[in-house]
């Protein structure tokens, strides 16, 4: 398991592969380093796969987030987790019983491409717990509604000489984060596989400004971030539907790139046996998620015009 993953969560696993999530969030592979290289916006095309569920057992996930209040989250295999680049994105997952929206929260080292490991709560919303493994359709959500304003958490051990921050409620996949101390210029931070953005030489003593850019080229700047390790700091910026709502004097900046439309919106009891992949029944036709035509067209426009500077 990853060194940053909390030890020994309880998982329901099954053998075999499935259609890949890489087609949806493949852009994350280009963005692992947190550099300034530009990439096309990720596809929101619906993919096919399978889902299992697991229990954190009182621990947290590799993305270093607090557990969502609704307990709806997902762990991705190594290719899709992509060194932490997928953290904080949202997926709509459709199973035999319906659709659930989950936050990318964790890594699943043993999961193949297309194998989504859901929280127990999320799994029960779309499939029967006794099944253990179910067929799914899933897609990345562009511009999901998030539960609150952007938050920044400075990591324990950080100082004026070593900067490390985790960003939450950013809605879309992030391509870069830049940091400036008082009166200083912006410096690029590097992404880690545990979802913190680092500057090894530090960025001064703060307060800091963070320039956060997503994969669609939208840049949001938050300010007033203090050097308070271990404290989740709420900013005055709420991002929703490609708009940055500015509160309390915090500045949000949007560039001129095309903008896609907003998408709609316990413990595990052991089971006798885990079904094999070949025993998974197909989804009923009524449960198949269909890509939004308008959203896909706008994503194509963003693909043609987005700048990730």
Concatenate the DSSP letters of all residues of 53-103 into one string.
Answer: EEE-TT---TT-PPPPTT--EEEE-HHHHGGGTTTT-EEEEEETTEEEEEE
- Distance CA(233)–CA(235), nearest Å, equals 6
Residue 121, domain CATH: 2.40.40.10
136 C-beta neighbours (distance < 10 Å), count: 30
Domain encompassing residue 57:
10-144+260-305
pLDDT, residue 58, reads 77
Instruction: Specify whether 140 is located in the same domain as 155.
Output: no
In this prediction, residue 41 carries a pLDDT of: 59
Q: Are 280 and 19 in contact (CB under 8 A)?
A: no
Q: What are the CA-CA distances from residue 100 to residues 90, 103, 135, 182, 274 (Å)?
A: 10, 10, 14, 43, 23
Domain end point (choices 214, 246, 278) = 246
Higher pLDDT, 12 or 148: 148
Domain for residue 255, yes or no? no
> Residues 277-306: pLDDT tens digits?
334 444 544 344 433 433 443 344 344 434
Q: Beta-carbon neighbour count of residue 21 at 10 Å?
A: 29
Q: What is the mean pLDDT of the chain?
A: 76
**Residues 158, 278: one domain?**
no
Distance CA(32)–CA(83), nearest Å, equals 6
Lowest mean pLDDT among 19-23, 42-46, 192-196: 19-23
Mean pLDDT across 3-26: 40
Mark whether 276 and 137 lie in a shared domain. yes
For 236-292, how does the pLDDT look when each residue is reduced to its tens digit (9 = 90+)? 999 865 544 444 334 344 443 334 433 334 444 443 333 343 344 445 443 444 334
């Amino acid at each position: 398991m990853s060194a940053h993953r909390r030890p020994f969560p309880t998982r329901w696993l099954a053998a075999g592969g499935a259609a890949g999530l890489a087609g949806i969030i493949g852009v994350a592979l280009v963005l692992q380093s947190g550099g300034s290289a530009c990439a096309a916006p990720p596809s929101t095309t619906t993919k096919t796969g399978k889902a299992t569920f697991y229990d954190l057992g009182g621990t947290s996930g590799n993305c270093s987030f607090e557990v969502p209040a609704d307990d709806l989250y997902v762990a991705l295999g190594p290719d899709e987790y992509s060194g932490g680049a997928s953290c904080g994105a949202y997926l709509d997952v459709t199973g035999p019983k319906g659709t659930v929206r989950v936050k990318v929260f964790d890594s699943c080292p043993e999961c193949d491409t297309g194998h989504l490991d859901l929280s127990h709560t999320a799994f029960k919303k779309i499939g029967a717990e006794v099944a253990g493994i179910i067929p799914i359709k899933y897609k990345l959500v562009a511009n999901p509604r998030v539960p609150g304003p952007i938050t920044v958490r400075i990591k324990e051990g950080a100082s004026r000489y070593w900067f490390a921050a985790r960003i939450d409620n950013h809605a879309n996949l992030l391509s870069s984060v830049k940091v400036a101390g008082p009166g200083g210029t912006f410096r690029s931070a590097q992404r880690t596989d545990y979802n913190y953005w680092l500057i090894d030489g530090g960025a001064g003593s703060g307060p800091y400004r963070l320039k956060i850019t997503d994969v669609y080229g939208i840049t949001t700047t938050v300010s007033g971030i203090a050097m308070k390790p271990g404290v989740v700091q709420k900013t005055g910026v709420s991002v929703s539907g490609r708009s940055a709502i500015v509160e309390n004097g915090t500045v949000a900046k949007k560039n001129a790139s095309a903008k896609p439309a907003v998408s709609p919106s316990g413990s595990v009891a052991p089971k006798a046996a885990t079904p094999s992949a070949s025993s998974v029944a197909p989804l009923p036709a009524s449960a198949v998620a269909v890509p939004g035509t308008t959203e896909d067209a706008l994503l194509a426009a963003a693909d043609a015009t987005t700048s990730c500077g």
